[in-house]
Amino acid sequence: MARKKKPLPELKSVRIEAVAAEGKALARVKMSENSDSPIVLFIPYGAPGDIADVQVDRKKNSYAEGHITRLVVPAADRVEPKCPHFTVCGGCKWQHLPYHSQLRWKQQQVTDALQRIAKVELPEINPILGSAEVWRYRNKMEYTFSNKKWRTWEQIKSGEEFKDSGNALGFHIPGAFDKVLHIDKCELQTELGDRIRNFIYLRAEHHGFSFYDIRANQGLLRTLMIRTASTGDVMVCLVFGEDNKEPSDIILKEIADAFPEIKSLVYVVNLKLNDSISDQEVIVHSGRDFIEEEMEGLRFRINAKSFYQTNSRQAYELYKVARKFSGLDPENAGEHKPLVYDLYTGTGTIANFVARGASKVIGIEYVPEAIEDAKVNAAVNGLDNTLFFAGDMKDVLTDEFIAEHGHPDVMIIDPPRAGMHEDVVKVILNARPKVIVYVSCNPATQARDLALLDRAYKVTDVQPVDMFPHTHHVENVVRLQLR
């Protein structure tokens, strides 16, 4: 007979000290009176200064995880979350912290990563650039249709009969892949985005159209993407889980009639088991197949598959930092304009943004469709000094490639969260650009890569940038100079 596990304790009056990885709060506790020393306890939705009763949910040798069962004494700067879905949705981790505190902890996150992981000589880290808009700042949101609406434990335990629909249009619940929290309002997207999403839900319910069942891989309505550009352009991409033209046409026409602001209404029929549309045909119902963003007079075309930073206004601040660190401000350019390599260029936004201060910009990106977008954006803006190449970075960026296209004076690097492959680091070290500007969405992997570059490069500038208020994510830009 299996031995019954000892139940994990509920700890009384735990004092929360700080914010740690993944946005969780941190406390140091003794798990029992017989414990020799305290261990780290990670607690979601806690605030430094809180005193709370905490139920331990998971225990390892060196740490534990738990959740707050009762807030005994709230932290002095704790604030009331704005969103009714906070703590259930999982998208925002920090709505209970005032924005100035969020910035302080993000600055600390960058400092800790660079000091503890990189362990390289550092200059004084610049104060983080906060976002001018902390609500309604996202230009892209993706929602899921589901015939399995998430119910809270309170709703279930009440025993009351549910009189509302079992269909939902909203966000996947963390840890429950087949359940979706229905959203009436999201404080991160524009109010127009809220109106469009709610309209689509109500019309679908009115017609009795089927919502997607992830287990059965069936249902007419599958996912919804809404993009709202700083220019005022709006894109709606509706993804259908069944190839059924009559009901699809009905709801698409109703959306187009109700929202003339939509410049691009497109749809996809996705019969696969996963939600990715990267390998699917995007069909235009009305308007264009793209919308446009604008930055310093440059226009950037964005289609349903394009990547673009989701905080348009703050993306501009981020790119200005990258350009400044690169020495590529057009007004400061001398007679000799540098040759620039832009690694992980995406749709070429940074490459095209800095092109006016460069002799030539060479962009490399893994996704072929993104490279085609980059070429279109260069053409739209009349830029003739950019070249773009598609392929795996470690396969494209070789010593032979550099010998053919020229040794870069400046290299801009903006890799995915996993950072750079070691082979890419080796080629960069061989190429020996005078300046490297490393833009990162993950200071931990950035710090790891800085340690690899340290034998040839010295860090001269560090600038954290907050792109995502109310989440724990932070961008960081580092300038490195050849020793």
Catalytic residues: 441
Judged by DSSP in three states, 381 sits in coil
Judged by DSSP in three states, 367 sits in coil
Q: State the greatest distance between any 2 C-alpha atoms of the chain, in Å, as a whole number.
A: 82
The phi and psi torsions of 357 (rounded to 5 degrees) equal -100, 5
Angle at 476 between CA 478 and CA 465, to 5 degrees: 125
Q: Token pair 């790891």 is at which residue? A: 448
The amino acid that residue 478 corresponds to is: V
Take residue 139 and report the two structure tokens written for it: 């230009």
Q: How many CB atoms lie within 10 A of CB 440?
A: 26
Give the burial class of 245: count Cβ atoms within 10 A of its Cβ; 0-12 exposed, 13-18 middle, 19 or more buried.
exposed
The residues near 360 (Cβ < 8 Å, ≥ 6 apart) are 339, 340, 385, 386, 387, 406
Nearest to 284 by CA among 269, 265, 301: 265
Instruction: Quote the CA–CA distance of 136 and 190 in Å, as a whole number.
Output: 5
